[in-house]
Amino acid sequence: MEKVQFSELNLSPEILRAVEDMGFEEATVIQTQSIPLVMAGRDVIGHSQTGTGKTAAFGIPAIERTDKRNPAVQTLVLCPTRELAVQASEEIRRYAKYKPGIRILPIYGGQPIERQIRELKKGVHIVIGTPGRIMDHMRRRTLRTGEVRLMVLDEADEMLNMGFREDVETILKDVPTDRQTILFSATMSPEILALTRKYQKNPELIKVVHKQLTVPLIEQYYYEVPRSKKEKALSRLIDMYNPKLSLVFCNTKRKVDEVAGNLQAMGYSADALHGDMSQASRDRVMNAFRNGTVDVLVATDVAARGIDVEDIEAVFNYDVPQDEEYYVHRIGRTGRAGRTGRAHTFVSGRKEIYALKDIQRYTSAGIARQQVPTLSDVEETKTYMIAEDIKRVLDEGDVGKYTKIVDQLMEDDYTSVDIASALLKMILGRDLADTEHAEDDFDGSTGSEAGMARLFMNVGRRDGVRPGDIVGAIAGETGIHGKLIGTIDVYDKYTFVEVPQDHARDVLHAMKDAKIKGRRANVQPARAKRG
């Protein structure tokens, strides 16, 4: 079943306005199929993973069906953890933004129960909580379930795995039997099926089928990055890899505009693409992207449909996609026509780590964890690339007319070294000045570990080098045990490797004339990290 626009789901103007504020362009598969059924009063079994938009699938109907005039609890949602309960309540509140008077309360252990009792006494319409704390309130009779009309079990398999089955059944028995029951689970174990048979009435099964990933030429990486540092991480990776064209995906139109604008302010040739733009504007942006006038395109999933540009060398998931299938669609934009490509995903917080694990599991994709390059790493690679370009130009010859300019400058008592240094400063100066003053603050995720020295090597992926080759070469040349070698970051043409500080001098000496994958390796200390 295809996804549809939220406006096609017969929702109230208030809900549609809230969805628009959140920047979502269309409902996910689970939302498209579940919302009409839940709105119609049907019991539903949702066989779906984390990250597919389940909260909206039950939260929006719960809001729509709430009678604000009745202060009693009308919807009760059970979640396996306090984190999930808090996240679900926050999301439902956002959907209820333009429905004033609907009271939503998360209930979980670890928070003073007296505070929860005070809120319950004021009257709450939608309660989201963990089984243990819900049971506690029921025993105290501070939570009365006599008027609950919608009962939701979110991540039911996790609740059973955590030993909550008895509590869940006790709660289900206490809620009126004429209620509507919604159950979401990643697996359909015998225990889950037993629950559905016992507590649901002719439920409708909704199963989200995951497409298999069939893009073997795409290298996939993820980076644990705080939300506030995503833009910095994005700029460093663009600088490090220097892709010809790249796509940056965000989950909302608002974030697309924000990221594109900030990239432009940093000097990148970037533009935005999303559904709020006129067709003429979208055509203009796409033409600029195809001809290379714009080399970084920031887009939503819906707006990026139909993009078929062969030279996209990198895809950045600025936000983890809401749906596993979106991930497949996103990264499939690179690695076209037999070319290799890269997909970089930024992950912030536990929820997104879980969502990424689901993506890995259901796409059979190996997504390797990698560190965000340090400022010194970026500087090192830029300097090396300039040096390689200079060598290439010198080898090609035909520099006669430029030699005359150098000769003229030398007549003014400048040496050739002075002139070359000044030219390099003109090329690299602004970037290196930015490096001097910027903070390298990825919460300890970059730079060498304590007691380790970081080394630079001029061999990389394009030479067929893999981390095992680096370990083997260092261990073979120096006798250092491979287990002592630390983090290895392999890029296209370069590699950064950490070795114990006590052995760094020995490694530099022993690797002086070493070859890795048939190429002589130039090994030197990486520039010191700037704070």
Task: Supply φ then ψ for residue 75, to 5 degrees.
Answer: -130, 130
Of 239 and 209, the one with more pLDDT? 239
Q: How far apart are CA 372 and CA 382, in angstroms?
A: 16
Bridge partners for 299 per DSSP: 249, 273
**Which pLDDT does position 421 carry in this prediction?**
78
Mean residue pLDDT of the chain comes to 84
Q: What is the pLDDT of residue 435?
A: 42
Decide if pLDDT at 334 tops 60. yes
CB crowding 61-87: b at 16 or more within 10 Å, else e: bbbbbbeeeeeebbbbbbbbebebbeb
* Residue found by looking up tokens 């059970």 in the block: 78
414 alpha-carbon distance from chain centroid: 51
pTM: 0.53
pLDDT at 353: 87
User: Average pLDDT of 326-337?
Assistant: 77
Q: Are 330 and 317 in contact (CB under 8 A)?
A: yes
For the CA atoms of 216, 217, 223, 229, the dihedral, rounded to the nearest 10 degrees, stands at: -140
Q: Using 50, 70 and 90 to split pLDDT, how confident is the model at 239?
A: confident
User: Residue 1 pLDDT > 60, yes or no?
Assistant: no
- Whether the pLDDT of residue 354 is over 90: the answer is no
pLDDT for 475 equals 84
The DSSP letter of residue 507 is H
pLDDT, tens digit (0-9, with 9 covering 90-100), for 144-175: 999 999 999 998 988 888 889 999 999 999 99
Tokens 């909260």 correspond to 55
pLDDT at 180 over 70: yes
| Range of weakest confidence among 173-177, 226-230, 289-293, 442-446 | 442-446
* pLDDT value at residue 50: 59
Question: What secondary structure does DSSP assign to 412-454, as a single string?
Answer: TT--HHHHHHHHHHHHHHHHHHHHHHS---STT-SSPPTTEEE
3-state secondary structure 9-63: HCCCHHHHHHHHHHCCCCCCHHHHHHHHHHHCCCCEEEECCCCCCHHHHHHHHHH
Q: Is 285:245 a contact under the CB 8 Å cutoff?
A: no
Asked whether 256 and 272 are in contact (CB, 8 A), the reply is yes
SS3 272: strand
If one compares 337 and 329, the residue with the highest pLDDT of the two is 329
pLDDT range class, residue 439, cuts 50, 70, 90: very low
Is the pLDDT confidence value at 521 over 90?
Answer: no
Which residue type, as a one-letter code, is found at position 77? Answer: V
Closest CA relative to residue 337, chosen from 308, 365, 364: 308
DSSP letter for each residue of 343-401: EEEEE-HHHHHHHHHHHHHHHT---EE-PPPPHHHHHHHHHHHHHHHHHHHHHH---HH
Could you tell me the domains of the chain? 6-207 (3.40.50.300), 218-369 (3.40.50.300), 375-437 (no CATH), 452-525 (3.30.70.330)
Average pLDDT of span 10-29: 87
pLDDT number for residue 2: 63
Q: For the segment 42-82, what is each residue's pLDDT rounded down to a tens digit?
A: 999 998 765 567 899 999 999 999 999 999 999 999 998 88
pLDDT band at 100 (very low <50, low <70, confident <90, very high): very high
Q: Give the Å distances, CA to CA, from 372 to 248, 441, 447.
A: 16, 10, 9
| Alpha-carbon radius of gyration of the chain | 28
| Both structure tokens of 98 | 């333009």
pLDDT over 70 at 517, yes or no = yes
Confidence of residue 446 (pLDDT cuts 50, 70, 90): very low
